[in-house]
Amino acid sequence: MDARILCTLCLQLLAGALVAFSKSSVCQLIGGTFFLSSAMHWTVVLINRYLNVSADSTYLEGNAIPVIITDNKKCKEMLGGDRTHTGAGIPGIQEKLAARARPNFRLRLAFGIDNAFTTDDEVWYREFKKRVQCSLKAISQERWHILARDARSLATSKLQRSASSPLVPLVQSITLRITLEAFFPKNPVRLRDQHIETVAGEINRVWMVSKDDPRSESWRCQLKLRDALAELIPDAKVFEPRENPLNIILPAYETMWRVVLRCFVEVWQRHVEWQGAFEDLLRNPGASQAPGEGHNEARAFHAVKEAFRLYPPTRRVHRHYADPSTAKRVWEAADIETCHRSAEVWGPDPLVFNPGRWANAHANLGASLLAFGAGDFTCPAKAGFGYRMAAILVAALLDAVGQGPWKLDMGNDEEELAEGVPMLSGRDAYVQAMLVRSEEECR
């Protein structure tokens, strides 16, 4: 039995004894305090057990802060798992998985998931990755056409219905809807706007709250999110961590909407010369065999790739090592955003959205893009899905705003769109931004 659990059990017994045998109120107070804290601990342990989670809550304890790694080479090593501290010898896959699973423990608690990011079980990791690779492979050329067509009509119909639209929920709901269509094609998904918006908004909320306080959110309490999910995917097994659809939805949607938002604003507001490439892509979304073959398709992919560089949706990737020989714990974070903005790697204009840098890019530049991880843990969506899906969603949004005179009102973040300054990259940025039909149209 884990030493911490044993200690807690002893304390709990001691508390019980104090309460039972003491006559003094001070003893009762001490006993009561011990009893309450033990009860809280056991609640967390029981939830973990229920979710098939081992009781490793080391990440949740204390006020430790990570060592931030900003060097590109070291970040790459860390992402691939090669910096995993083992005490001795070369790290094996199980140790690499454990180092990733520990900091992602909060996601198991908050979303009831068990996937490649949260597991240290090698067999399940391989099985899950295979499932993802199969889903990605199953998206045929024909399917890309359907996804692009649906993204386009969805964006257009959403904007047609109103004189103004909050930008973030618009991007979130289009991204989530098309993601569900891509990964759950067999489900006759009842895609009601209300449920899409609830799932999109709740994922974002729970993600942020669980980051601030990992203990505060548990999957059992996420009634709103679970109900809306069940409406969208009626046969979803939300209480089976390995079958929970959020295993796929989180990596596919949560990262995607943020990069789509920024790429869309950059191309619409600051770099109109790239809009033509997106128009072409929407007409022929699955045309070439490999991403980037046609001229304009390549240009659209360059713009998207640049958005992944300047605005990597996973800004920091964490690893938590537990060296068994010294019992020393090390917490490191690869600062991908800082690596992606280094002049040493990207030249004199690292803060400028410049898709042109990818036109004649040397292979080394591609290898410095860490938005999809690196080494053994490279994201399976990097090869084709990630760029194509992002490009299609950006194209659909550009097409929709192009149909009416829309303007962008950034609310309090207006000054943040100054030329040469990157957009804000926080998850909660631009919540006040609105698309507003311009006055000429209304008259």
Residues of the shown chain interacting with ligand HEM in the complex, contacts defined by CB under 6 A: 79, 100, 116-117, 129, 132, 248, 251-252, 255-256, 259, 313-314, 317, 371-373, 377, 379-381, 385-386
To which residue do tokens 């929970």 refer?
A: 244
Please classify residue 317 by burial: count the beta carbons closer than 10 Å to its beta carbon, then call 0-12 exposed, 13-18 middle and 19+ buried: buried
Cβ proximity to ligand HEM: between 379 and 436 the closer is: 379
Q: Which of 107, 327, 88, 72 is nearest to 80 (CA)?
A: 72
Tell me whether residue 129 or residue 270 sits nearer to ligand HEM (CB atom). 129
The answer to whether 190 and 232 have CB atoms below 8 angstroms apart is yes
For the CB of residue 3, give the shortest distance to ligand HEM in the complex, in Å. 28
Q: How many CB atoms lie under 10 A from the CB of residue 185? A: 15
**Smallest separation (angstroms) from ligand HEM to the CB of 381:** 4
Rank residues 53 and 132 by Cβ distance to ligand HEM and give the closer one: 132
Contacts for 23-26: CB closer than 8 Å, 24+ residues apart: none
Instruction: Assess contact for 230 and 241: CB atoms under 8 A.
Output: no
Under DSSP, is residue 331 helix (H, G, I), strand (E, B) or coil? Answer: strand
Please spell the DSSP secondary structure of 204-224, one letter per residue.
HHHHHHHHH-TTT--GGG-HH
* Element at 316 (helix H, strand E): strand 316-322
**Nearest distance, CB of residue 425 and ligand HEM, angstroms:** 13
Q: Which long-range contacts (CB under 8 A, 24 or more apart) does 425-430 make?
A: 425/262, 425/311, 425/315, 425/337, 427/204, 427/207, 427/208, 427/258, 428/208, 430/167, 430/168, 430/261
239 to 71, 114, 289: CA distances (angstroms): 40, 11, 39
Of all residues in the shown chain, the one whose CB is closest to ligand HEM is 373
CB of 318 to ligand HEM, least distance (A): 8
Nearer to ligand HEM, 179 or 222 (CB): 179
The residues pairing with 317 across neighbouring beta strands, listed in sequence order, are 334
**Spatial separation of the C-alpha atoms in residues 240 and 390, rounded to whole Å:** 30
Q: Nearer to ligand HEM by C-beta: 340 or 357?
A: 340
Q: Which is nearer to ligand HEM, 225 or 307 (CB)?
A: 307
For the bound state, the minimum distance from the C-beta of residue 128 to ligand HEM, rounded and expressed in Å, comes to: 6
> Min. distance of Cβ 300 from ligand HEM in angstroms?
15
- Other C-beta atoms lying within 10 Å of the C-beta of residue 421: 11
Between 31 and 386, whose beta carbon lies closer to ligand HEM? Answer: 386
> For tokens 């979710």, what's the residue?
51
Please name which of 196, 195, 189, 194 lies closest in space to residue 174, comparing C-alpha atoms: 196
What's the min distance (Å) between Cβ of 32 and ligand HEM? 42
Nearer of residues 45 and 429 to ligand HEM, judged by Cβ = 429
Q: Please report how close the Cβ of residue 7 comes to ligand HEM at its closest, in angstroms.
A: 31
Query: CB of residue 77 vs ligand HEM: minimum separation in angstroms?
Result: 12
User: Please, which residue, 35 or 311, has the CB nearer to ligand HEM?
Assistant: 311
Least spacing, CB of residue 205 vs ligand HEM, in Å: 20
Give the residue with the Cβ less far from ligand HEM, 112 or 313. Answer: 313
Q: Which residue blocks in 51-121 are alpha helix, DSSP H?
A: 72-80, 93-101, 105-111
